[in-house]
Amino acid sequence: MQPDQLIEKFQQKDESAFAKIYELYSESIFGIIYSVLHNQELSEEVLQDVFLKAWNNAASYTPEKGRFFTWLLNIARNAAIDKTRSKAFKNSKQNQNAAYFVDILEEKSSFSSRIDAIGIKKYIEVLEPICKKVIHLLFFKGYTQKETAEALEIPLGTVKTRNRICINKLREVLDIK
């Protein structure tokens, strides 16, 4: 459930609401940023910037434009892409090639207690290569359908449904039906 009341309070600059929002969303947003930067220190920095920006521009979120999570996602992706221009990022020895989120998941040994680690591991095992790419571009990188179709050289009309199949599989293993 989207915590609508909490969001409203957050928009009215209620600090305890902000703390709860941070608690709810910071780890997923951190994951998104890290999947772009592959650098823990820089990702933490960007994470703080993102929530600071969200706080300072809280009034600019309107439910008509979409989900609150989506709003945060967009701020995070933009901030992470901005960071890739920084000297700090260019000097970091991280692998700057477009690694897939799956690579991060495969390298990881321990998961936060908040997630269904068994489900996620199982998902990586059953994930088709095309799903890996589609989710990487659309969700983690925020590509449009058109950009995704071009990057993967698949027909534009199939992007949406293909992605749905991939996400359905995720929900199946995580038992979100």
Whose Cβ is closer to another protein: residue 1's or residue 59's? 1
Tell me which of 57, 60, 88, 111 binds another protein, using CB under 8 A.
111
CA distance 13 to 130: 43
Q: Which of residues 43-82 bind another protein (CB under 8 A)?
A: 43-44, 47-48, 51-52, 55-56, 63-67, 69-71, 73-74, 81-82
Which ranges constitute the DSSP H helices of 12-126?
15-37, 40-56, 68-83, 87-91, 101-107, 117-126
Taking CB under 8 A as the rule, does residue 118 contact another protein? no
Packed helices 117-126 and 156-174: angle between N→C axes, nearest 10 degrees: 140
Q: How far is the CB of 51 from another protein (least distance, A)?
A: 5
6 binds another protein (CB under 8 A): no
Position 84 contacts another protein (CB under 8 A): yes
CB of 3 to another protein, least distance (A): 11
Where in 122-141 is the site for another protein (CB under 8 A)?
123, 133, 135, 137-141
Distance, in Å, from the CA atom of 169 to the CA atom of 175, rounded to the nearest integer, reads 10
| Cα(31)–Cα(68) distance, integer angstroms | 17
- For residue 26, the one-letter residue type is S
